[in-house]
Structure 1
Amino acid sequence: MFLGIVLLLTGCAVQKQGQSPAISVAANITPSFDIPDIRERMLYLARQEWELFGRPEVNYDIEPPAVTYPSEATQGHETLPPFFSRVFMYWYTATDLPIIGYEGEVRPWSGAFIVWLARSAGVPESDLPSTVLHWDYIQHVIATASENRFVSHAINTYAPKPGDIICAPRGEAFIQSIHNYNDLRRGAYHCDLVVAQRPGELDVIGGNVLNTVSLAHIKLDGAGKVLPTKARPWMLAIEQRN
């Protein structure tokens, strides 16, 4: 009886029903792990999605560019149910517009993929706005560079590193009208996230590359600057500063 009264007074009566016990860490305890920062989370998420789509690699050195998969991999395609669910998630993170076009096609989702990476990693709307058009966030970064997490550079003036984004105009007529960084304007673009860097080469991952999330190897010059190609006439690098 006495023991029951002691327990009631010292323990059971202190914690209310349904209330979680308070857990605190002593001031002298050092965490045994590091919490990844935004850049690291974007890199992890990009590689995660690439793995889910079967680790496809796109080769821009052949005409037309083609995607190859490891022999044992399931080939991910945007219209197959397991993969369309991912595309659906990217899209509706970025917009409320319908993902299916007027002719029943899946609308281009590479911009939504970049936005999903950023938003899922913790990038605020003020640094990279939600949109399915690459130009919208490119224009935002150019306009807000002084206070933004991201800052834009002409592709021939900056050596990208993992966590940065590189962009190229798309469509033959539009490409012909964009001769350099100063010509950038509203139009069709493709952007990829840089996920690895080696001497002479970057690895980049992007969405909606031949209907999947693909990795590409991008050649660099001796100073680490991206070399544009016919298939990807890179014009812009978006540096992630933090």
Structure 2
Amino acid sequence: MMKYLLFMFFLALSGCGSSHKKPPAPAPAAQIVAPQQNTVEIPIDSWKYKIIDAATDEWIFFGQQKVIIEKDDESIPHVGAWEDDDWSHIERVNQYWRAVGMSRLSGKDCKEPWSAAFISWVMREAGVPASLFPPAPSHRDYLSHFLSVGQNPGASFIPHTIQEYKPKPGDLICANRGTGYFGDVVEELPLSLNAKLHCDIVVQTDGRFLYAIGGNVRNSVSKSILTLSPDGFLQLTRHRPWFLIIENRLD
């Protein structure tokens, strides 16, 4: 089973959807309990709610692909639409790129990571001003900004390590990206950042599982389902070496 999951993992990283056959939907690596209500109530007129709503709408548009990460295993129990499946999805990725000033790129350019463009687009759709969340084609750009201003009074996005803060809906969870990367838990906030990063938007937590939506996750907008620690903290995994949480303090 482990060899099969690893094969599926590297297959999903190997270029555009049209260049290879989509994977079949394997059985989940773990039994996932249906989520309970969020542990935090979010006002419907808040920026947090609008961020989660915009991300969820895009996940639905891309066919509701799910990725389950359980310790060092990963499975895709439901495969959705991929970035280059058809013109509507190719064009949708172009809209994400336009949010960061790169209108020449689209879903056909699937060698270009578009997860930061996706998050920037979601923030714009939710009405978050660029002065609070600077749109960027690279996660490193806006994360470096938050690391530099996060301790200022009244800051809207506050960086934390994964062992000092429990993620909540509306937050960002961020990991190093790259084949074979697997490091130790980061105990202090970094002074500089790797260029290869990935972030997702937390849309739901229930104390046991965390549900996060991100772009360019296995060629789609996917909802990742992560098992939290018994105390409710994000856990480092081989497929997603999480190291940073951006707390969202927007009203």
TM-score by length of 2: 0.73
Query: Quick one: distance in 2 between partners of 1:83 and 1:108?
Result: 15
The 3-state SS of whatever aligns with 1:191 is strand
Q: Superposed, which structure 2 residues align to 1:19-30 within 5 Å?
A: none
Instruction: Kindly state the Cα deviation for residue 37 of structure 1 after the two structures are TM-superposed.
Output: 1.5
> Residue in 2 aligned with 1:107?
112
Name the aligned partner's letter for residue 168 of structure 1.
A
Q: Is 1:169–1:178's contact at 8 Å kept on the other side of the alignment?
A: no
Q: Equivalents in 1 of 2:178, 2:60: separation in Å?
A: 28
Describe the SS at the equivalent of 1:205.
strand
Corresponding residue number in structure 2 for 1:163: 170
**Is 1:241 the counterpart of 2:249 in the alignment?**
yes
Aligned residue for 2:242, secondary structure, equals coil
Structure 2 regions of 5+ residues with no counterpart?
1-42
Contact 1:127 1:141 in 2 (8 A): no
**SS of residue in 2 equivalent to 1:217:** strand
The structure with the larger Rg is 1
Could you tell me which residue of structure 2 aligns to residue 225 of structure 1?
A: 233
User: Are 2:130 and 1:121 equivalent residues in the alignment?
Assistant: no
Shift in Å, 1:169: 0.5
Identity %: 34
Higher relative CO (Cα under 8 Å, sequence separation at least 6) belongs to 2
Task: For 1:144-223, list aligned pairs within 5 A.
Answer: 144-145=149-150, 146=152, 147-172=154-179, 175-176=182-183, 179-183=186-190, 184-223=192-231
Q: Take 2:48 and 2:163, find their aligned partners in 1: how far apart are those partners?
A: 23
State the aligned residue count. Answer: 204
SS of the aligned residue for 2:76 comes to strand
Tell me the SS of whatever aligns to 1:36: coil
8 A contact 2:213–2:221 mirrored in 1? yes
Q: What is aligned with 2:63?
A: 54
SS class of match (1:94): coil
Q: Which one is further off, 91-100 or 61-70?
A: 61-70
CA distance in 2, matches of 1:91, 1:241: 26
- What is the match of residue 89 of structure 2? 83
* Greater Cα offset, 174-183 or 127-136: 174-183
Greater fraction of residues in helix: 1
- Runs (4+) off by over 6 Å: none
For residues 83 and 62 of structure 1, do their structure 2 counterparts lie closer, same or farther at Cα, with a shift above 3 Å needed? farther
- Secondary structure of residue in 1 paired with 2:116: helix
Question: For structure 1, which runs of at least 5 residues remain unmatched after alignment?
Answer: 1-33
Q: Which residue of 1 aligns with 2:29?
A: none
Quick check: 2:84–2:90 contact (8 Å CA) kept in 1?
A: yes
Give how far 1:53 is off: 0.7
The answer to whether the 8 A contact 2:93-2:106 is kept is: no
Contact 2:146 2:158 in 1 (8 A): yes
